[in-house]
Chain A
Amino acid sequence: KAGVTQTPRYLIKTRGQQVTLSCSPISGHRSVSWYQQTPGQGLQFLFEYFSETQRNKGNFPGRFSGRQFSNSRSEMNVSTLELGDSALYLCASSATGEEQYFGPGTRLTVT
């Protein structure tokens, strides 16, 4: 079974721009969660989508948003980028929301 894929793997953006990251879950998995990983804060939960509905949300500003499509693929968007948004963004898929399998991540650098 193919694992979780994320595109792009690396991204460099300028402050004030917006960015869209993509995640394709494991086949058959309907839950997709997004996490931000930084050296200072570790892994922090952004949000989870299940069957195209946001089921859970972390404590991030409204600049961070996401969506899920009918084929379970998910995108997250960050608007008005700040330097502090530089991080590894990880997507995880799950059949039920419990055991979550992570993708390789997208490394975002904001300059």
Chain B
Amino acid sequence: EDQVTQSPEALRLQEGESSSLNCSYTVSGLRGLFWYRQDPGKGPEFLFTLYSAGEEKEKERLKATLTKKESFLHITAPKPEDSATYLCAVQNTGTASKLTFGTGTRLQVTL
């Protein structure tokens, strides 16, 4: 069974204080690893897809990286508008479209 574990559960940063969120996964065959951002009361917003170990993707202050066992979401010089829950999910080559999600990291960025 596919499993995704995210840490920490919650993270409080000051504006400008860089950090990383962790996503550890177990999957028999990785089709893709996905990062989403979710604001309260809204649906998840797609951020990145990573397909193979060593791959990296960047978007503004966010950078996602992938190894064979985990993925990191690096947040550089965060701003208060980066406050949200960040979700990690995997797709298995055997179950195609099904996304298995972690429980997320709640990020709060303060002034």
Contacts and interface: CB of A to CB of B under 8 A. Distances in A.
Size class of A's contact patch? 20 to 34
Interface residues of B, number: 23
B8 interface: no
Contacts of B102: 42
Contacts, number: 60
Contacts of A100: 34, 46, 97, 99
Interface in B55-107: 87, 89, 91, 95-104
Given A4-B43, A99-B34, A105-B43, A43 B101 contact: yes
A101 interface: yes
A94 B104 contact: no
A21 interface: no
Contacts of B95: 56
Dominant SS among interface residues on chain B:
strand
Contacts of B49: 98-99
Contacts of A48: 96-98
Contacts of B89: 43
A97 B34 CA distance: 12
A98 B89 CA distance: 11
Nearest to B49: A99
Nearest to B42: A104
Interface of A: 4, 31, 33, 35, 42-45, 48, 50, 55-56, 58, 90, 92, 94, 97-105
Interface of B: 31-32, 34, 36, 42-46, 49, 87, 89, 91, 95-104
Given A42-B104, A45-B98, 4 more contacts: A56-B95, A58-B98, A97-B96, A101-B46
Top 8 A-B pairs, shortest CB-CB distance: A102-B43, A97-B97, A43-B101, A48-B97, A42-B103, A45-B98, A102-B44, A104-B43
